[in-house]
Chain A
């Protein structure tokens, strides 16, 4: 399911002393099936844009087309239920939204709300729990007895239980340790392939953009300032730094090597890419004995 923004403006609390224009003239498409990273420094409007993806916010002017559905400033808040089923959003710290007595009931809550039978939703809950890598014995436990990382997985399972076409993730790994972060990112990558999802990831982790995304939207001060594949976005390190954004660690390190006179055909984005590039320039003596290094 593709999502297209046309000339979208959004202002928080218009006509009050707190009035604040958060989005200006947004024209952008999130292609169906893409893994789109939404990046921009703190307060650039990423979270506001994200809430337009399932009409939690409606544009102050312009239109957002989500699949077949066109959202305008006049769109009624009724009748948005189906849309919200198609676009599942995992907010920051989603574990704070858990509320049910058991993990099973919490995951089943969404689909039950959409009129699916209890038996069917409990079955879905069990499946979703496995999908996020948690053991079945947690189903009957209170979500509040789990660790922070487990609670987050349960909250994500609850969003997945709606069987969305688009999965929107707002800094889903913030606060997790590196091991948990890696596992979580691998789960999303796997889900995307198994369930043919469109994924939208809001992140500050440029390494995640380099490793997982195939499309990038860069925001600054409420505007979209660049779109493209990760390689195009990271090809101009100075531009990124000017927009208060970082580089993938590999690209930053390769840049240090370039300053010393090393040459790369294209800037590497991951450590494996860099290692391959480096190996080509190293003498035979750099390799261990018995290693066949074919030129």
Chain B
């Protein structure tokens, strides 16, 4: 196997004010290959965001190691590693620094020392990609929640990190906006060797991933492809994910006395099955 771009081994984390026995993350190990899209799911309070903050050194573990692109995360390597990772949080208010939207998107590039002409071009391109070019001269603070999430993502598009970590970064978008952002991320992946780690409750976002890691109570409970994980049907709610629509309809049909298949069906599979059932008349 090619060496992973992110490798986490036996990570334990506890918040400073917590008693020694109460670990927020317990013996977490997983790795992500370069170019992979991994979704991390789990209910609120399961430790997902804590895990994300351990990956770029915003939080430091009690024990265990995080290796990013061959470098073990430590006080010496943290700045080098952060250059490779772009993070978008759920509430981007906490990460805006620029006076205008364009300034904010440019911020990461200024820090990287990108020449001014190239910077302006990249900012314009990034804002266009998230459909926010009309807002370039606005104040970030006065945008709506969904617009803020788009601007935060534009900052990442412009900065071109090797790894993109999305911490519920589409939660404030409307369904179409969410679909657009997911399409943008797919495009970014197609354009270069981007690795994506998305923390999400959204079934469509999870379905976009190559692999899903289920975190519960600070531990990795399960790993699998979306189709493997979605077989859990009604138990997906306990894992912090929504039920795929076909599963919800299946449950409703069952309540009406209809015998439904036990295997996981996509929406198309469900429509095919219903159509065939009706033709058996």
Contacts and interface: CB of A to CB of B under 8 A. Distances in A.
Contacts of B274: 257, 278
Contacts of B145: 42, 92, 171, 174
B175 A286 contact: no
Contacts of A282: 258, 277-278
Contacts of B137: 17
Contacts of B138: 18, 20
Contact of B255 (A148, A244, A256, A272): A272
Contacts, number: 142
A249 B142 CA distance: 31
Interface residues of B, number: 52
Given A18-B142, A276-B256, A147 B44 contact: yes
B174 A253 contact: no
Nearest to A261: B275
Interface string B238-281: 10111101001101110111110000000110110011011011
**Best-buried of A256, A278, A283 by chain B (most CB within 10 Å):** A278
Interface in B178-210: 201
Nearest to B177: A42
Nearest to A259: B271
Contact of A256 (B42, B91, B267): B267
B173 interface: yes
Interface in A241-295: 244-246, 249-250, 253, 256-257, 260, 262, 271-272, 274-276, 278-279, 281-283, 285-288, 291, 293
Contact of A18 (B139, B176, B241): B139
Contact of A278 (B42, B45, B176, B253): B253
B144 A47 contact: yes
A33 interface: no
Interface of A: 12, 17-18, 20, 41-43, 46-47, 92-93, 96, 147-149, 171, 174-180, 182, 204, 206, 244-246, 249-250, 253, 256-257, 260, 262, 271-272, 274-276, 278-279, 281-283, 285-288, 291, 293
Given A177-B42, A275-B249, 16 more contacts: A42-B146, A42-B177, A43-B147, A96-B91, A147-B45, A149-B45, A175-B90, A178-B201, A179-B240, A180-B44, A182-B237, A204-B174, A245-B175, A246-B174, A276-B256, A278-B274
